[in-house]
Structure 1
Amino acid sequence: MSKPNFLTPLQCDEISREIWYLPEREEIQTAIARLWGSMAAFKDGEDRGGVIETTRAVELVLPDIYDRRLLDRYLEAAVIIFEEYESQN
């Protein structure tokens, strides 16, 4: 996220809003919109907001939100996906 050619927080927010306001938005689209919002928050130095949005995104696709071990694994997967994306851009 620190790369200069990566999207700005405003651009991340715009992508998030574009997905959020899709007609008949599905849960997975909501989760993706929240992940874009979390990237904007992290880039703005709002770590707490970034963590909250990432957790909410993961909870949307998590089959059992009360299974903390599974939630941790989903969050770890989200980090791996982001790191892979970042390494390719």
Structure 2
Amino acid sequence: MDRVYDLFRRRQRDGTWARIVTQLQAEADSKGLITWDVNVDSTVCRAHQHAAGAAKRGISRRSRPAESLPSPPTTDLDVPGAA
């Protein structure tokens, strides 16, 4: 016994659903029930794979705390031995 899904897939593969939609659209269009407005939106926003948390290829680098480097002097008073 066929399941409903099997019947659906069979109709999909043989093009039955596409023919039904095409026929319904043709009938509705001939009666003026369809407005064929086309709207194209090309907005795309993608993050780089690494920004999204994907694993990087190659050697795994574990995050290490940044080394604390002394900041450069900002005035002559900050330079040792200067006065």
Length-normalised TM-score, structure 1: 0.22
Greater fraction helix: 1
Higher relative contact order (CA 8 A, sep 6+): 1
**TM norm structure 2:** 0.23
Larger radius of gyration: 2
